[in-house]
Structure 1
């Protein structure tokens, strides 16, 4: 018997929101239960519910007498899956009703069939007026989380950090990200690969000539990219592609990629700077290093891959100082919410202080592995100043041998903060620090 997609979507979103599971971990387990042709719809339902979670919960508040709790809790997420279909997909309403109600059986909540059917039909009957009311409502009268589909603590942080553009960031997070690729310079020049894309009729734009990052007009299966299996190109967001250029490795350099998994930046550095002496890639999670090895193998590149903790370099370091270090630090990942909407509900306000202390400790430990005159490139996929410019300022204050090198044209900027949708890129931060000789 075929698995019910709505049941799987309900289980998946329930696991993320109520159990704190990562969507990246949970979704593949559910995808494994279905025909590959249904993968897109299951992803759409899960991502959609997580993107619009507060709004969907607000939509059903008047249709149920009391919240579903305990063993019935998964039924609450099934209800949200149903509302999302009616509100945001082209699935015919009758199909959304039938499939959603049928999902009660595999979820072992048959007793909720009548309630869920009633709520969906009531919402469908009143949908036009409800959407009109939400659209016309004074946004200040709605709870902030509902109005912007983000947690209130995060909205407040953005308002403080970006008083002129915080709404733009939130709006960008609600849209699907474009697909970016990078060209492996060991195989083709940029112009050569652009010609191959044109021959394959894959529409694209060259957004950033310095990094040669290519944005596709529409996402495609990677196997349709010319020479993907041969290592001619890789999928990597335009913001992440800046790392290899900013690190500026020179021939003969000994290079460390710290917190390297899944290895996109490791591979890009090797492609961009093939004459370096050695590349070491470390990550604390051995399981994630499998992805690094897979990427290196596909691209036919060589690196020393180590499962190691950046806080304790004495347990893995070979004693050879590094000329260049990329520290892609553990962070809140608040710059990639459009790719990973579960981050909105997994991350908590209190996590930020813990992360900033971890980042500072890692920077201090890794700094000791850098040669005098060497370069540390600090990077996060966060938009929060506590993890970015304020973090770097603190490090500079505490380390007299550290010198900040401006990346942007504004030399007063501490690092380079890329916000979500700047040139269609993810939110990202870079700061370049030189160790004085």
Structure 2
């Protein structure tokens, strides 16, 4: 399908429909699309665009079910974007606080900004018929549609979690809280909490994460106390476990692989300021810019290199590492509640490809680890093929690799810790800690 350009004149709903269209028809990430659109709007409108577009991602199968019953035939060509505008209208009517009058009237008007003034009557008729026919009240017996997930992921969760599958799917559709990690090289934890108290920002402390606070409502991150001074980083509680599990000691050489945007890199530096050397590696040059920005803001001095983790000969200096963190490329199925577009950007065929890449990187990095050194394998996935089965296979094939359990229930047959979405308010994550025998 030909790209549809961003509307020349800004309009709240037209721009939001453009974001939805780019994600679903062109496979763009919500972050990339929102960045383009949000340059044109104020903070309040930007928050609305983000809430609505990501809301459509969460409810897409149901919205499409309604749309199919309301449209005589699909729209094609450069009119296809109007289907996405209608999806936005349906979402407003059923799931938002927008008044029904505004949801219909303003959505109809937005068609003109999408070069489709001639279809305003169609948009109006579809939204009015949705209300008139009370479609939202009619029962749906299709569990996949009600789940808000693509069929392949619905079944993958069913196969992996069986009796717990419904709870995993429900948590996957929830909205994730914002976690902050206090940078205690710049300010004490209690002092930062006092800043939040003085700014009347509601939060709670995490019992299991001594550097973390969880905000009770969404906030403008850059407006929080101490942002410019590097007093904190935004990092989910599950991701905050990585630096603790790695157990870096003074003077050690550490590799943080696939490091962008640098959250775990910063945490390692904060927990062990006297470490010997810390290298943040990532293959994506544009994402490394974010690592540099974050390390500058947090005031951490680390080495940052662009390089493919699967081909160390291109970037490695030949000196072995004491500790390696491999935050492996993965399906990101554990963070769908935070990035709901992922469910539509990922395909079932991606999982096998990712598993092969993960194993390739594991094999390549193992040779960079000192005898007695530790490699921490991490993903933000909830799928066994990328996690437990991946590490089980690696242990079977790698004579000098030994599992060091993170939990009391781990075995070589069922290695690692699988965190599920919503567990202790955390994202879905997987960790396995391996040591290289002498």
- TM-score band, normalised by shorter chain: over 0.9
Which residue of 1 is the match for residue 85 of structure 2? 78
Residue 255 of structure 1 aligns to a residue whose secondary structure is: strand
Residue 62 of structure 1 aligns to a residue whose secondary structure is: helix
CA offsets 1:267-323 (integer angstroms, 9 cap, x no match): 110011111001101100011000000000001111110010011110100111100
Deviation, 1:2, is 5.9
Query: Where does structure 2 lack aligned partners over 5 or more consecutive residues?
Result: 1-7
CA offsets 1:57-107 (integer angstroms, 9 cap, x no match): 111222111111222211110110111111111111121112111111121
Q: Is it true that 1:373 corresponds to 2:379 in the alignment?
A: no
8 Å CA contact retained: 1:2, 1:34: no
Deviation, 1:330, is 0.3
Q: Is it true that 1:131 corresponds to 2:130 in the alignment?
A: no
Query: Where does structure 1 lack aligned partners over 5 or more consecutive residues?
Result: none
Deviation, 1:119, is 0.6
8 Å CA contact retained: 2:183, 2:232: yes
Distance 1:353 1:263, change over 3 A: same
The number of aligned residues is: 429
1:169-318 superposed matches below 5 A: 169-318=168-317
For 2:369 and 2:208, locate their aligned partners in 1 and report how far apart those are by CA, in whole Å: 30
What is the TM-score when the length of structure 2 is the normalising length? 0.95
Distance 1:174 1:411, change over 3 A: closer
Deviation, 1:174, is 1.8
For 1:223 and 1:154, locate their aligned partners in 2 and report how far apart those are by CA, in whole Å: 35
Which residue of 2 is the match for residue 324 of structure 1? 323
Q: Is it true that 1:122 corresponds to 2:129 in the alignment?
A: yes
For 1:292 and 1:252, locate their aligned partners in 2 and report how far apart those are by CA, in whole Å: 23
Deviates more, 1:118-127 or 1:339-348: 118-127
Q: Is it true that 1:156 corresponds to 2:163 in the alignment?
A: no
Which residue of 1 is the match for residue 402 of structure 2? 403
Deviation, 1:111, is 2.2
For 2:415 and 2:212, locate their aligned partners in 1 and report how far apart those are by CA, in whole Å: 24
For 1:296 and 1:20, locate their aligned partners in 2 and report how far apart those are by CA, in whole Å: 30
Deviates more, 1:376-385 or 1:5-14: 5-14
For 1:325 and 1:23, locate their aligned partners in 2 and report how far apart those are by CA, in whole Å: 31
For 1:211 and 1:414, locate their aligned partners in 2 and report how far apart those are by CA, in whole Å: 26
Across the aligned residues of Structure 1 and Structure 2, the Cα RMSD in angstroms comes to 1.5
Residue 190 of structure 2 aligns to a residue whose secondary structure is: helix
Deviates more, 1:55-64 or 1:33-42: 33-42
CA offsets 1:128-153 (integer angstroms, 9 cap, x no match): xx33323xx4xxx31x4312010111
Deviates more, 1:37-46 or 1:331-340: 37-46
Deviates more, 1:330-339 or 1:145-154: 145-154
For 1:210 and 1:156, locate their aligned partners in 2 and report how far apart those are by CA, in whole Å: 33
What is the TM-score when the length of structure 1 is the normalising length? 0.95
Question: Could you list the runs of 4 or more consecutive aligned residues of structure 1 that deviate by over 6 angstroms after TM superposition?
Answer: none
Which residue of 1 is the match for residue 437 of structure 2? 436
8 Å CA contact retained: 1:211, 1:242: no
8 Å CA contact retained: 1:211, 1:241: no
For 2:207 and 2:264, locate their aligned partners in 1 and report how far apart those are by CA, in whole Å: 17
Query: Which of 38, 51, 60 is matched with 2:45 structurally?
Result: 38
8 Å CA contact retained: 2:111, 2:120: yes
Query: Which of 33, 55, 60 is matched with 1:53 structurally?
Result: 60
Q: Is it true that 1:3 corresponds to 2:4 in the alignment?
A: no
8 Å CA contact retained: 1:244, 1:269: yes
Deviation, 1:15, is 1.0
Deviation, 1:36, is 3.2
Which residue of 2 is the match for residue 420 of structure 1? 421
Deviation, 1:408, is 1.2
